[in-house]
Amino acid sequence: MILTETNTKELLNDLDWDFAGSKSETIHSLHPYPAKFISDIPRTLINILPIPKNTLILDPFCGSGVTLIEAQKAGINSLGVDLNPIACLLSRVKTQPLPVNFLSTAEKIFEKCNSYRGNISIPNIPNLDHWFKKDIQVGLAILLKNINSVSEGSVSDALKFCVSSIIVKVSNQDSDTRYAAIENTWGKKDVFALFLQVAQKLQKAKDSFLYSTASSVLNKNSLLLKKTDLPQKIGLVITSPPYPNAYEYWLYHKYRMWWLGYDPINVKEQEIGARAHYFKKNHQTEFDFMDQMDSLFTFLSAGCANEAFICFVIGRSKIHGRIIENENIIAEIGEKKGLKHITTIERTIKSSRKSFNLSHARIKEEFIVILQK
């Protein structure tokens, strides 16, 4: 069937986008990532929408790399961009083959950590004693000291992925989405054991995955993207941007960033939609979000090939009592840049995918806005 604008809209609108029975694949369940993009959405869009030849799939807010994995499965090159270094770490490790010496290196590090007897320097991290017991601090510091001695970048990334996945688990934090202190029963030896368990699970998950196409990840503010960042023209954009006063990704990952040597405060200052931007003197409004999206769409409209589709998955915001219809903002900005608004689809978010701050976000549904150049 030759897809026209009319039958493309009908085909898209006839599908059930709630994906009520959706389950996360093993590769995506190894590391917590609140408000994770479900695989069904990019997979369905990739299967339905025609992608111009010799182009790539772009996710300018790639998060944990779900769109990139689906692009690889479809045999299409992809580029993921994210401001958050933890997101980029996850996406790199998921989309690249594991080095053959990864698991053996993890096992050696496990043995070295268990036999470590010297003094260890604990990093200067805010509120560390509140969120991490002394024994856990020592365990994480020993583990990272050994990992930081690994010079091979791809091995080091995969090892850091494993550490990052357990940092909140061994802390005094109740969960990845709830900042409440609890009594933690983990000890130093558990840190090493949990690290090795994740490494073994990662190896098993990667053994069954084929890498037939290239996927690259860029740690950058998407609002600062340039034409030179693109190895090819864009044939399809699938993304879910942070939006005003909803999720705070820097907050979920700030202790991971501190432990791994990144700067969460820098991420917070640049992160689109972070709640802190909306609860201060001279706070941001939806107009700041509109300016941010206008800047991004200028880049996208120039970087996309003709006939390329641009798909944004986005929810509504609540800012100081006012509901902001972000899906309409995206559609209007896209049209202003000369794109066709094909359709906007509403879908219900599973309650298990919601995060804290719901009293502010009130996120019960989200929208898939589909535009075409």
Average pLDDT for 340-344: 96
Q: For residues 218 and 1, which has the higher predicted lDDT (pLDDT)? A: 218
Which domains does the chain carry?
Answer: 5-96+212-250+263-372 (3.40.50.150), 102-207 (no CATH)
What's the confidence (pLDDT) of residue 182?
Answer: 87
Residue 243 one-letter amino acid: Y
pLDDT band at residue 360 using 50, 70 and 90 as cut-offs: very low
> Is the pLDDT reported for residue 155 higher than 70?
yes
Average pLDDT for 85-101: 96
What's the confidence (pLDDT) of residue 1?
Answer: 47
What's the confidence (pLDDT) of residue 283?
Answer: 77
What's the confidence (pLDDT) of residue 214?
Answer: 82
Q: Name the CA radius of gyration of the chain, rounded.
A: 21
pLDDT band at residue 285 using 50, 70 and 90 as cut-offs: confident
Average pLDDT for 189-209: 95
Chain segment 237-268, per-residue pLDDT in tens:
999 998 887 777 888 899 999 999 999 999 99
pLDDT band at residue 5 using 50, 70 and 90 as cut-offs: low
pLDDT band at residue 47 using 50, 70 and 90 as cut-offs: very high
Average pLDDT for 45-58: 96
What's the confidence (pLDDT) of residue 4?
Answer: 64
> Is the pLDDT reported for residue 202 higher than 60?
yes
Chain segment 156-173, per-residue pLDDT in tens:
999 999 999 999 999 999
Average pLDDT for 191-218: 92
Cα 373 to Cα 49: distance, rounded to the nearest angstrom: 13
Q: Which residue has the tokens 């020592």?
A: 138
> Is the pLDDT reported for residue 77 higher than 80?
yes
Q: For residues 183 and 139, which has the higher predicted lDDT (pLDDT)? A: 139
What's the confidence (pLDDT) of residue 358?
Answer: 44
What's the confidence (pLDDT) of residue 370?
Answer: 98
> Is the pLDDT reported for residue 324 higher than 60?
yes
pTM of the complete model beyond 0.85: yes
Average pLDDT, the chain: 91
